[in-house]
Structure 1
């Protein structure tokens, strides 16, 4: 049986996620809390098997509470969720201890699938294999990844690196493949986790 703790100060978000989670067999408890001290106090009082923390682009909300919970309870299984374009926020939360992420646009079925995966011990973020970690990114791919980690668009990256936008996209596709990432957020998360960007 699984207990889920949802952390977000938007009531509608919490209720929507709670509905999705309640459809998964084996879930016995779902609690919703706001940020910071309330999450830490609730987790300390009654640890959950899975913690979902919402991020809000440009605010740092979610990232700091993820870091604090992970520091206090290193075994906490934390998944962050936020808009797909919030690459920086998601990546910072991963670097702060989150073990996976969900896109804000995820369907109810995707949300329940993530929880089902957690119940069977699967990772919410596909992780590169050990062999994949040994793949060397080119200097240009590292530059593109670093710019992505700062939330820059392909056009902006091209302007700063004196490349066409199509060339940036080509470098991005290559580094996605090498890192085993499906998109920017995942690539940046891997970059933070494995020290490719700081």
Structure 2
């Protein structure tokens, strides 16, 4: 049976995730803490199978807590969760070793599927990536990826590069295809891991 620990400073978020995870078969215990300091102390005393950590918008130092936890416990299964427009923070957490991410607006089926997949020892939702040697991005695709890593919208990237928004979307689709990803957060996470963006 699987044990889970949730870290977020909002009681409503912790309770909501607890209710969702209670529907995932195989979970035997779900605990939660409000602060990253409590998370590290609790995990040191009682390691769990899965840790969910809010990003820095919800938990001060949340991404740093994920990094430290993984540095000391490389096999820790950590999922970060955050705002839909917080792509750079989520990507940094993924680059630091988190197994996947969830967004605040994820649907109930998405949450349950992500948890079930992670518990089955498969990284989610970041798919297997092509090796860096096989990824050849054009200069424009790299510029679009860089803009994404800064949290800019397609419109803002277009204005910066003097491109129409539809053209930016076309470059983004090609970029996703080359990296084997499905959205901006996954692309940026891949970019951080492979050194394509810093």
TM-score bracket, normalised by the shorter chain, equals over 0.9
Cα distance in 1 between the residues matched to 2:144 and 2:12: 36
Q: CA deviation at 1:93?
A: 1.2
Tell me if structure 1 keeps the 8 A contact 2:88–2:151: yes
Give the 3-state SS of the residue equivalent to 2:52 in structure 1: strand
Gaps of 5+ in 2: none
Pairing 1:67–2:60 present:
no
1:169-184 matched pairs, under 5 angstroms = 169-184=169-184
Q: Which runs of 4+ in 1 moved over 4 A?
A: 56-61
Pairing 1:30–2:30 present:
yes
Q: Show CA shifts across 1:170-192 (max 9, x none).
A: 11111011112111111111111
Q: How well do the aligned residues superpose, as a CA RMSD in angstroms?
A: 1.9
TM normalised by structure 1 equals: 0.92
Cα distance in 2 between the residues matched to 1:23 and 1:59: 25
Pairing 1:45–2:45 present:
yes
> Which region of structure 1 is more displaced relative to structure 2, 6-15 or 173-182?
173-182
TM normalised by structure 2 equals: 0.92
Q: CA deviation at 1:126?
A: 3.2
Cα distance in 1 between the residues matched to 2:170 and 2:60: 30
Pairing 1:99–2:99 present:
yes
Tell me if structure 2 keeps the 8 A contact 1:7–1:53: yes
**How many residues are paired up?**
198
Gaps of 5+ in 1: none
Tell me if structure 2 keeps the 8 A contact 1:35–1:65: no
